[in-house]
Amino acid sequence: MVVGAGAAGIGLTRLLLQLGVQHILVCDQEGILSPSRVNGANRYKREIAAITNPASRTGTLAEALEGADVLIGLSRGGVVSPAMVARMAPHPIVFALANPEPEIQPELAREAGAFILAAGRSDYPNQVNNVLAFPGVFRGALHVRASKINNAMKLVAAEATASPVGKRLSPDFIIPKSLDPRVAPAVAAATVRAAMASGVARRVVDPEEVAVRTRLLAERELVTALQ
């Protein structure tokens, strides 16, 4: 269940489809996106409606969340109530990523039964911050002089972002801290490999060398920031 049908919501939905997720509902302020809905549906929403919602469901956000396993919020604050979370599937996962106010306050979502929580703010566990991805993605793309940043690069970057978690995985630690020094080198190396494998690299480089250079640069920048 993706709440929000702007650039972030539609982009994420396309990546989830690439990963093989089959049952996705996307909601905007008017409710569930479906091929039959015409109000408030621009061409981007119509395109995403055509490749999601396999059961052609209609209705409100509250109706969409009934029985849902995962809620990913990329919309605005306060649109999800504790009652909506309570009607999700047992042990639901809630990503309330709107900033500065999440779709639902994590403590309220927890009280309503959420098992795993993530937010866009640093004062909650599992902060989802784009700084985890973009330094490594851009360094990898620039090192190979990639002609584009394609889905293959985005997907391996997502996997590499989570790689430092390892055996420490727990409901309150599903993603590294935004300044974890291991993330950018891992993402840069993964991006390089994917760019070369998918044919968009204009230059062949050693992924491990890129990882080392990225780590050294990050360490220098951190030292400078702390001075």
Give the residue extent of every domain in the chain: 2-119, 130-226
C-alpha count within 13 angstroms, C-beta hemisphere, residue 44: 11
d(CA 195, CA 218): 22
pTM of whole model > 0.85?
yes
- The backbone region for 133, taken as left when phi is positive above 0, alpha when psi lies in -120 to 50, beta otherwise, is alpha
Residue bearing tokens 């390892």? 166
Could you report the per-residue pLDDT of 169-217, keeping only the tens digit for each?
Answer: 999 999 999 889 899 999 999 999 999 999 999 999 999 999 999 999 8
Residue 38 pLDDT greater than 80, yes or no: no
Residue 92 pLDDT greater than 80, yes or no: yes
Strand arrangement of the beta sheet that strand 26-28 belongs to: 31-32, 26-28, 2-3, 70-73, 93-96, 116-119
Q: What is the 3-state secondary structure (H, E, C) of the chain?
A: CEECCCHHHHHHHHHHHHCCCCCCCEEECCEECCCCCCCCCCHHHHHHHHCCCCCCCCCCHHHHHCCCCEEEECCCCCCCCHHHHHCCCCCCEEEECCCCCCCCCHHHHHHCCCCEEEECCCCCCCECCHHHCHHHHHHHHHHCCCCCCCHHHHHHHHHHHHHHHHHHCECCECCCCCCCCCHHHHHHHHHHHHHHHCCCCCCCCCHHHHHHHHHHHHHHHHHHHHC
Residue 222 pLDDT greater than 80, yes or no: no
The pLDDT assigned to 178 comes to: 87
Residue 225 pLDDT greater than 80, yes or no: no
Could you report the per-residue pLDDT of 3-16, keeping only the tens digit for each?
Answer: 999 999 999 999 99
d(CA 126, CA 212): 26
Cβ neighbours, 10 Å, residue 216: 11
* Domain 2-119 part of CATH 3.40.50.720: yes
